[in-house]
Amino acid sequence: KQRELVLAFESSCDETSVAIIENGHKILANIIATQINSHKRFGGVVPEVASRHHIEQVVGCLEDALNEAQVSYDDLNAVAVTYGPGLVGALLVGVAAAKAVAFAHNLPLVPVNHMAGHIYAARFVEPIIFPALALLVSGGHTELVYLAKPNSYEIIGETRDDAAGEAYDKVGRILGINYPAGKEIDRLAHQGQDTFNFPRAMIDEDNFDFSFSGLKSAFINTVHHADQLGKELNHADLAASFQQSVVDVLAHKMVKALRKYPVKQLILAGGVAANSGLRERIKSELQDFEDVSLLMAPVKLCGDNAAMIGAAGYIAWKAGIRADMSLNAEPSLEF
């Protein structure tokens, strides 16, 4: 089979990334310039700071990707780019860069939804088998997505308030953990026990939606209340209790969705899919579904990166999905 190369850009939040993907599933380069150190002291991503960093980083990332993959512009078949959802000023940088390359080298421009990208991070493990269900858990989104066929995404459930990753980050702040806090809470959770029994919101409701703001508030109130009494709570137990609540709700709704939607595959993806407790739990729940194969995005590709945009972009390109030079950033893009 001839080799088909997609150049991909990702700049929706606090990672500038450029990747080159061969035949939709082989990473020739995946350069990621993170800005986390610049945002840490603010406890979250500052949009203006993010945009400026993307502008400073994007050309260097592009050059590094071409060098690392040892390809030239002439070797490329398409340019894929995240055009939403995300921070508008951040997205615009990737969109402008992708347009420039596509225009200068007369290449097709392929628009990619960031969340479809997260799902396709799993493609680097194995091909996706349709119909599939994706549990998509990130810093900005928590969704159950039904994929009837390639390039078809239907949200069947989503968070009504905070995303799971957002809750991790806010709770982490209370414990004095730097943004983004997910990884550190995950580590702490393994040293503690679920002694606080925080709420599992909407777990018994007859839908596939989530809510994490009540959990976040319960956590914050518990810590503040103890503070007032001059009591120091065990951080590992707090982390373990919080994580157990998040994992219980996600797993419960996923199982409910699998019962209603007979799919061939369950895909776990998004930044929070790197969570070890969640991965273990989903793996064990899937044992009850013999006909459903489990596909988890590799831990290293769960966070934002352009490789996943290249994988999703390849499928979109093959299906003839194109953008022209009027492509704009869409901060609130939905499936």
Element at 95 (helix H, strand E)? helix 88-104
Element at 29 (helix H, strand E)? strand 26-34
Strand partners for 15: 34
Stretch that binds Zn ion, among 132-140, 205-213, 234-242, 254-262 (CB under 5 A): 132-140
88 is in an annotated binding site: no
Instruction: Map residue 194 onto helix, strand or coil.
Output: coil
Q: Are 50 and 35 within 8 A, CB to CB?
A: yes
Stretch that binds ligand KG4, among 32-40, 49-57, 59-67, 264-272 (CB under 6 A): 264-272
Element at 135 (helix H, strand E)? strand 132-137
Which of 90/292 has CB closer to Zn ion?
A: 90
| CA 189/CA 180 separation, integer angstroms | 16
89 counts as binding ligand KG4 under rule CB under 6 A = no
Q: Which of 303, 306, 317, 329 binds ligand KG4 (CB under 6 A)?
A: 303
How do strand 293-296 and strand 265-269 relate by DSSP bridges?
Answer: parallel
136 is in an annotated binding site: yes
Q: CB atoms < 10 A from the CB of 197, how many?
A: 10
137 is in an annotated binding site: yes
> What minimum distance in Å lies between the beta carbon of 17 and Zn ion?
11
DSSP annotation string for 195-212: -S----TTTTSSSS-B--
Q: Which of 143, 169, 285, 304 binds Zn ion (CB under 5 A)?
A: 304
Please tell me the count of residues contacting ligand KG4 according to CB under 6 A.
20
Which of 192/271 has CB closer to ligand KG4?
A: 271
Find, among 4, 3, 10, the residue nearest to 111 by Cα. 10
Window 163-202: residues binding ligand KG4 (CB under 6 A):
165, 168-169, 180-183, 186
Binding-site residues from annotation for substrate = 136-140, 169, 182, 186, 275
The residue ranges that bind ligand KG4 (CB under 6 A) are: 13, 118, 138-140, 165, 168-169, 180-183, 186, 270-272, 274-275, 303-304
Binding-site residues from annotation for Fe cation = 114, 118, 304
